[in-house]
């Protein structure tokens, strides 16, 4: 259930910082924020509260399991760069999308990034993960004055045991810290168990309090 949305072809990093701090997200030129969403479990649909999440990077510490993921994947090569879309990336998206049920399956990479993501609505950056000559994971981020914002991540399901979604997120955190950013915005989770619960397992987490319009330390009983 959308509460507010608008379209914008261009935005400056400082302005996006402000929107992110007010719990907005964007996919390409489409900007949105909402407090309530519908969640399908089995044959029932229920309404759940949306929890915007971000990591305060100075308070982030690796957990034991996150250290293991970094060690296990240390032999993969990682590239950080301005986004480049090409055939192997579209194929990776298609393969990764099969993980979702048919009614929640995204139809296109351009559901998440614009048709010209290297400049619209601002430059999109990416992390690529390679196993020799094979692209096995990719995640997209916005870089603003104070923050990183995770847009979308995808991985080759043949490599599911490597936790590549968590791996690319850890690499985003490392990149943001190296650039001296204050926050990494994770997008939304729900106040019930859902597909997004992995976002709740990072240290230094803050959640947006819709009633008070401010960020607070995250507790699982929000």
pLDDT in tens, 52-65: 999 999 999 999 99
Task: Kindly indicate whether the domain formed by 4-217 is annotated with CATH number 3.40.630.30.
Answer: yes
Interatomic CA distance for residues 98 and 36, integer angstroms: 26
pLDDT digits (tens, 9 = 90+) for 28-49: 999 999 999 888 777 788 889 9
Q: DSSP assignment of 63-109, as one string?
A: -HHHHHHHHHTTTSEEEEEE----HHHHHHHHHHHTTS-TTT----G
Which residues does the chain have with pLDDT short of 70? 1-2, 221-222
What per-residue confidence (pLDDT) applies to 221? 52
What per-residue confidence (pLDDT) applies to 222? 44
Cα three-residue angle 208-117-153, rounded to 5 degrees: 55
Interatomic CA distance for residues 205 and 222, integer angstroms: 12
Q: Which residues contact 141 (CB under 8 A, 6 or more apart)?
A: 124, 125, 126, 127, 148, 149, 150, 151, 172, 175
Global confidence as pTM: 0.94
Q: Look up residue 122 and give its two tokens.
A: 């601002």
Buried b or exposed e, range 183-220, using 16+ CB within 10 angstroms? bbbbbbbbeeebebeebbebebbbbbebeeeebeebee
| CA-based radius of gyration for the chain | 17
What per-residue confidence (pLDDT) applies to 59? 97
* 163, 176 Cβ separation under 8 angstroms: no
What per-residue confidence (pLDDT) applies to 170? 98
* 163, 135 Cβ separation under 8 angstroms: no
* 90, 180 Cβ separation under 8 angstroms: no
What per-residue confidence (pLDDT) applies to 43? 78
What per-residue confidence (pLDDT) applies to 2? 58
């Amino acid at each position: 259930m959308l509460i507010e949305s608008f379209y914008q072809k261009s935005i400056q990093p400082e302005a996006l910082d402000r929107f992110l701090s007010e719990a907005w997200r964007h996919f390409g030129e489409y900007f949105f924020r909402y407090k309530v969403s519908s969640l399908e479990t089995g044959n029932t649909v229920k309404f759940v509260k949306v929890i915007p999440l971000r990591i305060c990077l100075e308070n982030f510490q690796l957990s034991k399991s996150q250290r293991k993921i970094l060690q296990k994947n240390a032999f993969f090569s990682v590239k950080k760069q301005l986004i480049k879309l090409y055939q192997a990336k579209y194929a990776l998206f298609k393969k990764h999308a099969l993980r979702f049920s048919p009614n929640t399956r995204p139809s296109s990479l351009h559901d998440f990034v614009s048709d010209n993501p290297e400049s619209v609505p601002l430059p999109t950056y990416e992390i690529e993960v390679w196993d020799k000559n094979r692209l096995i994971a990719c995640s997209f981020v916005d870089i603003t004055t104070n923050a990183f914002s995770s847009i979308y991540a995808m991985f080759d399901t043949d490599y599911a045991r490597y936790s590549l979604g968590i791996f690319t997120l850890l690499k985003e955190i490392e990149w943001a810290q190296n650039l001296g950013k204050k926050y990494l915005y994770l997008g939304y989770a729900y106040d019930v168990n859902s597909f997004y619960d992995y976002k709740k397992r990072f240290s230094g987490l803050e959640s947006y309090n819709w009633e008070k319009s401010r960020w607070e330390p995250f507790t699982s009983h929000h």
